[in-house]
Amino acid sequence: MMEKKDRSKLVAPCGLDCGVCELNMCKDNITLLNQLIKIGIPKENLPCQGCRAIQGNCPVLEEKCDTYKCISEKKIDFCYECNEFPCVSIQPAADRADTLPHNMKIYNLCIIKNLGLDSFINNSPEIKKRYFAGKMIIGKGPQI
Protein backbone atom coordinates (compact mmCIF):
# COMPACT_ATOMS: atom_id res chain seq x y z
CA MET A 1 0.00 0.00 0.00
CA MET A 2 1.33 3.43 -0.96
CA GLU A 3 1.85 5.86 1.90
CA LYS A 4 -0.15 9.11 1.82
CA LYS A 5 3.04 11.16 1.48
CA ASP A 6 4.06 9.19 -1.60
CA ARG A 7 0.50 9.28 -2.97
CA SER A 8 0.43 13.07 -2.75
CA LYS A 9 3.43 13.20 -5.09
CA LEU A 10 1.23 11.66 -7.79
CA VAL A 11 -0.95 14.77 -8.08
CA ALA A 12 0.38 16.86 -10.95
CA PRO A 13 0.83 20.64 -10.68
CA CYS A 14 -2.06 21.14 -13.13
CA GLY A 15 -4.47 19.18 -10.92
CA LEU A 16 -4.51 15.93 -12.85
CA ASP A 17 -4.14 12.89 -10.62
CA CYS A 18 -1.43 10.61 -11.97
CA GLY A 19 -2.44 8.13 -9.28
CA VAL A 20 -5.66 7.33 -11.15
CA CYS A 21 -4.13 7.61 -14.62
CA GLU A 22 -3.98 4.44 -16.69
CA LEU A 23 -0.32 5.12 -17.47
CA ASN A 24 0.45 4.76 -13.76
CA MET A 25 -2.19 2.17 -12.89
CA CYS A 26 -0.82 -0.28 -15.47
CA LYS A 27 1.83 -1.23 -12.90
CA ASP A 28 -0.82 -3.43 -11.27
CA ASN A 29 -2.60 -4.52 -14.45
CA ILE A 30 -0.71 -6.44 -17.15
CA THR A 31 -3.71 -6.32 -19.51
CA LEU A 32 -3.80 -2.53 -19.29
CA LEU A 33 -0.02 -2.37 -19.73
CA ASN A 34 -0.26 -4.41 -22.92
CA GLN A 35 -3.13 -2.25 -24.23
CA LEU A 36 -1.07 0.91 -23.70
CA ILE A 37 1.91 -0.60 -25.50
CA LYS A 38 -0.40 -1.70 -28.31
CA ILE A 39 -1.64 1.87 -28.86
CA GLY A 40 1.94 3.10 -29.19
CA ILE A 41 3.17 4.13 -25.75
CA PRO A 42 6.77 2.94 -25.48
CA LYS A 43 7.15 0.04 -23.06
CA GLU A 44 10.19 1.68 -21.47
CA ASN A 45 7.97 4.63 -20.41
CA LEU A 46 5.54 2.39 -18.54
CA PRO A 47 4.40 2.37 -15.89
CA CYS A 48 4.63 6.13 -15.57
CA GLN A 49 5.81 7.24 -12.13
CA GLY A 50 3.82 10.48 -12.27
CA CYS A 51 4.46 13.97 -13.55
CA ARG A 52 6.53 15.14 -10.60
CA ALA A 53 8.77 12.05 -10.52
CA ILE A 54 9.52 12.30 -14.23
CA GLN A 55 9.76 16.10 -14.15
CA GLY A 56 6.99 16.74 -16.66
CA ASN A 57 8.19 14.26 -19.27
CA CYS A 58 4.83 12.52 -19.68
CA PRO A 59 4.95 9.35 -21.83
CA VAL A 60 2.26 10.73 -24.16
CA LEU A 61 4.05 14.03 -24.84
CA GLU A 62 6.81 14.58 -27.36
CA GLU A 63 8.51 17.14 -25.11
CA LYS A 64 8.37 18.29 -21.50
CA CYS A 65 4.97 19.55 -20.38
CA ASP A 66 4.71 23.34 -20.63
CA THR A 67 2.65 23.50 -17.44
CA TYR A 68 5.35 21.62 -15.56
CA LYS A 69 7.99 23.99 -16.96
CA CYS A 70 5.88 26.96 -15.88
CA ILE A 71 5.40 25.87 -12.25
CA SER A 72 9.08 24.96 -12.05
CA GLU A 73 10.10 28.44 -13.21
CA LYS A 74 7.67 30.06 -10.79
CA LYS A 75 8.74 27.74 -7.96
CA ILE A 76 5.20 26.77 -7.00
CA ASP A 77 3.62 23.37 -6.40
CA PHE A 78 0.22 23.85 -8.06
CA CYS A 79 -1.18 26.16 -10.73
CA TYR A 80 -3.75 27.61 -8.31
CA GLU A 81 -0.85 29.21 -6.38
CA CYS A 82 0.01 31.38 -9.37
CA ASN A 83 -1.12 35.01 -9.64
CA GLU A 84 -2.21 34.28 -13.23
CA PHE A 85 -4.50 31.36 -12.25
CA PRO A 86 -6.54 30.37 -14.14
CA CYS A 87 -4.61 30.88 -17.35
CA VAL A 88 -5.20 29.70 -20.92
CA SER A 89 -2.76 26.80 -20.48
CA ILE A 90 -5.31 24.99 -18.31
CA GLN A 91 -8.46 26.38 -19.90
CA PRO A 92 -10.97 23.64 -20.77
CA ALA A 93 -11.50 22.79 -24.44
CA ALA A 94 -14.16 20.69 -26.12
CA ASP A 95 -11.61 18.91 -28.32
CA ARG A 96 -11.27 15.28 -27.10
CA ALA A 97 -13.03 16.12 -23.83
CA ASP A 98 -14.68 12.70 -23.94
CA THR A 99 -11.36 10.85 -23.79
CA LEU A 100 -8.83 13.18 -22.13
CA PRO A 101 -8.99 14.38 -18.51
CA HIS A 102 -7.74 17.89 -19.27
CA ASN A 103 -11.07 19.58 -18.65
CA MET A 104 -10.88 18.36 -15.05
CA LYS A 105 -7.88 20.55 -14.21
CA ILE A 106 -9.66 23.71 -12.98
CA TYR A 107 -12.16 21.72 -10.91
CA ASN A 108 -9.42 19.55 -9.40
CA LEU A 109 -7.26 22.56 -8.54
CA CYS A 110 -10.21 24.25 -6.83
CA ILE A 111 -10.83 21.12 -4.76
CA ILE A 112 -7.14 20.97 -3.78
CA LYS A 113 -7.07 24.68 -2.92
CA ASN A 114 -10.34 24.72 -0.97
CA LEU A 115 -10.48 21.26 0.65
CA GLY A 116 -6.83 20.18 0.70
CA LEU A 117 -4.71 17.63 -1.10
CA ASP A 118 -5.73 14.68 1.10
CA SER A 119 -9.42 15.33 0.45
CA PHE A 120 -8.76 15.54 -3.27
CA ILE A 121 -6.81 12.28 -3.27
CA ASN A 122 -9.61 10.53 -1.38
CA ASN A 123 -12.21 11.78 -3.87
CA SER A 124 -10.16 11.64 -7.07
CA PRO A 125 -11.37 8.21 -8.27
CA GLU A 126 -15.00 9.34 -7.88
CA ILE A 127 -14.29 12.69 -9.59
CA LYS A 128 -12.75 10.88 -12.57
CA LYS A 129 -15.62 8.37 -12.70
CA ARG A 130 -18.21 11.16 -12.56
CA TYR A 131 -16.43 13.00 -15.39
CA PHE A 132 -16.06 10.06 -17.77
CA ALA A 133 -19.10 7.95 -16.84
CA GLY A 134 -21.53 10.49 -15.43
CA LYS A 135 -24.60 11.62 -17.29
CA MET A 136 -25.10 15.39 -17.25
CA ILE A 137 -28.33 16.57 -15.70
CA ILE A 138 -28.82 20.29 -16.20
CA GLY A 139 -28.87 22.03 -12.82
CA LYS A 140 -27.54 18.95 -11.00
CA GLY A 141 -24.22 18.24 -12.70
CA PRO A 142 -22.93 14.83 -13.77
CA GLN A 143 -24.76 11.94 -12.12
CA ILE A 144 -23.54 8.37 -11.82
Q: Examine residue 47 and state whether it is found in any structural domain, yes or no.
A: yes
Q: Examine residue 141 and state whether it is found in any structural domain, yes or no.
A: no
Which of 95, 104, 93 lies closest to 129, judged by CA? 104
- Quick one: pLDDT at residue 55? 95
- Quick one: pLDDT at residue 76? 97
Q: Examine residue 1 and state whether it is found in any structural domain, yes or no.
A: no
Supply the range of the domain harboring residue 115: 9-134
Q: Examine residue 143 and state whether it is found in any structural domain, yes or no.
A: no
Per-residue model confidence as pLDDT tens digits over 3-52:
556 899 999 999 999 999 999 999 999 999 999 999 999 999 999 999 99
- Quick one: pLDDT at residue 4? 56
Which of 16, 9, 13, 39 lies closest to 26, judged by CA? 39
| Structural domain count of the chain | 1
Dihedral, CA of residue 103, residue 86, residue 90 and residue 143, to nearest 10 = -10
- Quick one: pLDDT at residue 3? 56
- Quick one: pLDDT at residue 46? 94
Q: Examine residue 2 and state whether it is found in any structural domain, yes or no.
A: no
DSSP 83-104: TT-S-GGG---STTTTT-GGGG
Q: Examine residue 24 and state whether it is found in any structural domain, yes or no.
A: yes
**Is residue 1's pLDDT more than 50?**
no
pTM, two decimals, is: 0.87
Cα four-point dihedral sign 135, 59, 19, 69? negative
Per-residue model confidence as pLDDT tens digits over 50-95:
999 999 999 988 899 999 999 999 999 999 999 999 999 999 999 9
